[in-house]
Amino acid sequence: MFLDFMSEVKGLIRDALEHCGFKVEDGVNDLGLEISPHADLASSVAFRLAPAQRRSPVQIAKEIHQAVPTEYRYVDRVELAGPYLNFFMNRVFLKTVLNQALSDNCWTGKMSDKVIVEHTSANPDGPLHVGHIRNSVIGDTLVRILRRAGCTVDAQYYVNDMGRQEAMVVVGCEHFQLDGSKPDHAIAKVYIAANKAMEENPDIRVQADQIIQRYEAGDPETVAKIQNAVNYAIRGIEETLHRLNIHHDSYHWESEFVRSGDVAQIIELLEKTGHTEWEDGAFQLDLSGYGFEKKMVLKRANGTSLYITRDLAYHRWKSANSDRSVDILGADHKLVSGQLCTALRLLGIREPEVVIFEFVSLPTGSMSTRKGKFISADELIDEVERRAFEEVSLRRPEESEDFRRDVAMKVAAGAIRFDVVKVSADKATMFDWRQALDFEKLSAPFIQYSHARACSILRKESADRQFNAELLLDENEVALIKKISHFDLVIDSAARELKPHHLATYARELAESFNLFYRYSPVLDAPSDLKDARLALVGAARNALRATLETLGIAALETM
C-alpha cells in the first residue's frame, strides 16, 4: 500500500538526483518527503540542496523535475510547484489498494523482530488505578502495533515480589483479615492498614524487614506466604486488565533472577568494570562519570539485593532473548531507568527502548496506593460501562438487555483505551470524569460506529463481486481509498518510534473519511455498476477500520 507508492517516489527522486549530480546528506527524511494537502507525497529536497548548490530552490527543483524518470507504476504524475516536487498516485495504485484491502493478508507488515514488551508491572499490593492503566494501555497497544508490523512479541509482566511493599502486604495479611472483596482490592485494604499501623507501631517495620530477609534466603514458609499474596493480587489485577482487553504472555518474578544466580552474576560482572566500591558496608556502582551524582547501591549492608540490581539481571536476560526490548515506565522512573541503561552499557548489554509516560493526576494531587488515594481502574470501568449502557438503551431501546450490556461493555473498554492512547505519552494529564464519560467525536465509539455502519451496509449486500474501480471518482471516495492506503505507513512508523498515539489519530481520520463517503455516496441505491464499486469500497473500509480497531485493542462492533 502506501509504503510501495512511497518507495517508488523515493526511487524516482534518487534517480533524478543522481542524474543531476546532486547529493543529499543521509538522514531519517533526507528527501524531505511529506504527505501534504497539495500532493499525495511532496518533496522539499530542493531546499536542502540550495545552500551547497548556491542556487535557488526553485531552479534546483526545476532541474530535478526534468530529470525524474517517466516510467511509472503507481505514480500518476510529478508536478513542479515552485521549490516543491509534488507526486500524485495513479488509478492503478488506487485500484491495487482496494484489491489488497479486500483481502486479509495486507494488514500485517514485514518486520520480523522478536520483541519483548514489558508493561504494567504494577506492584501486587493493590488494584490498578487510573495512572497504571496509562502504562497498560500504551503497552498493550504497542504490543498490538508491533505484531501488526510483523514482529513476534512477548508481552511480559515483571512481578515485584521481593520489595518492601510485598513484605508489608504479608504483614498486613497477618494482622488484618482479607475481606473477601475482589482480591486486588482486598490486598490493598490490608496493605493500607499495615502502613497506617506502622505509624504507631515501629515493630511492623521490623517484621517487614525480617520477611524480606527470609524471602531472599528462601525460607519455605515465607516463600509460600509471599507467593500466595502475590498470586492473589495478580488474579485481581489480571481480571481488570482483561476487562480492557489487555493480556500478558508471560510473568517474570524478580525472585527468579535471585534464585537462578543471575543477580549474583550481574554483581560480579559490574565489579569487573572497575566502577564499583564498598561504602558503609553496601556495594555500590559509581556512575558519576556518566552524569549521575548519586552512587547506585547494588547490595544492602545486610546483604539483601535491591530492585535495581534484580532489574539489571532481568534486562540482561531480556536482551539475550530478543531483538528489541521495550519498557513502558512512568515518569517517576526516568532517573532510575537512565541509571539502568548506563549500567547495561558498561556491561556491553543492549539497552531497552524506554517509553516514558508522564503522570496522570487527580484534581487533588497525585495518586498513591499506600495512602489509599486513587481512583481504581475497576471504578472507572464500572462507571463508564454504566454511562455506556444508558447511552445504548437510549439509542437502541428495542434491543435485548444482553445486547445492550454487551455493547456497553465493549464501548466502555474502547472509550477508556482510546482516551488514554490518543494523548502523546509525554503529556501529563489530569483525570477528568466528565471527559472520561464523553462518547463524542474524539473517542472510540466514533470509530466503532463507522465500522458498524459499514457492516450494516454489507449485511444487506455483500462486497464479494466483480467491480470496476474506475467508477470511484468522487472526491470523498478517492480520499477514503487514500486514507485506507496509509495504514501500513502508520503502523510502520508507530512500531519504529513506539508512538501509539499516531494510530489513534489515524483511526479518527479514517473514520472521518468513511463518514464523509457514507454521507455523500449512497451505496445501496446507486446504479448497479456504481453500487458494486461502492460496495467494494465499503468492504475495504470495513477491513481497514477493523484492523485499526483491533490494533488499538478496541472491539470492532458490527452493530451498536
Partner RNA sequence: GGGCGCGUGGCCUAGUCAGGAUAAGGCGGCAGCCUCCUAAGCUGUAGAUCGGGGGUUCGAAUCCCCCCGCGCCCGCCA
Which C-beta is closer to RNA: that of 325 or that of 450?
A: 450
Which C-beta is closer to RNA: that of 185 or that of 502?
A: 502
**How many residues in total does the chain contain?**
560
- State the number of CA atoms in the 13 A half-sphere of 503 facing the CB: 38
423 binds RNA (CB under 7 A): yes
220 binds RNA (CB under 7 A): no
Q: Which parts of 347-386 interact with RNA (CB under 7 A)? A: 358-359, 361, 365-366
Which listed residue (94, 455, 480, 540) binds RNA by CB under 7 A?
455
Minimum Å distance from CB 415 to RNA?
8
501 binds RNA (CB under 7 A): yes
Name the grid cell of 378: 475497576
Helix (H, G, I), strand (E, B), or coil: what is residue 279? strand
- Whole-number Å distance between alpha carbons of 366 and 466: 58
Minimum Å distance from CB 71 to RNA?
23
446 binds RNA (CB under 7 A): yes
- Please work out the total of residues on this chain that contact RNA, with binding judged by CB under 7 A: 101
**Is the CB of residue 535 less than 8 Å from the CB of residue 529?**
no
**Is the CB of residue 464 less than 8 Å from the CB of residue 528?**
no
Which C-beta is closer to RNA: that of 316 or that of 453?
A: 453
**Is the CB of residue 40 less than 8 Å from the CB of residue 76?**
no
Minimum Å distance from CB 518 to RNA?
5
- Whole-number Å distance between alpha carbons of 21 and 119: 49
Segment near RNA (CB under 7 A), from 67-75, 137-145, 170-178, 305-313? Answer: 305-313
- Whole-number Å distance between alpha carbons of 86 and 93: 16
Which C-beta is closer to RNA: that of 75 or that of 388?
A: 388
Which C-beta is closer to RNA: that of 100 or that of 420?
A: 420
- Whole-number Å distance between alpha carbons of 270 and 281: 17
**Is the CB of residue 370 less than 8 Å from the CB of residue 172?**
no
Segment near RNA (CB under 7 A), from 100-108, 198-206, 317-325, 425-433? Answer: 425-433
Which C-beta is closer to RNA: that of 100 or that of 482?
A: 482
Q: Which parts of 136-195 interact with RNA (CB under 7 A)? A: 160, 162-165
Q: Which parts of 514-553 interact with RNA (CB under 7 A)? A: 515-516, 518-519, 521-525
86 binds RNA (CB under 7 A): yes
388 binds RNA (CB under 7 A): yes
Which C-beta is closer to RNA: that of 57 or that of 183?
A: 57
- Sequence-ordered strand ranges (E) for 411-506: 429-430
- Sequence-ordered strand ranges (E) for 90-196: 114-118, 152-159
Segment near RNA (CB under 7 A), from 4-12, 47-55, 198-206, 320-328? Answer: 47-55
- Whole-number Å distance between alpha carbons of 533 and 335: 56
Query: What is the edge-to-edge ordering of all strands in the sheet holding 152-159?
Result: 250-253, 152-159, 114-118, 324-330, 353-357
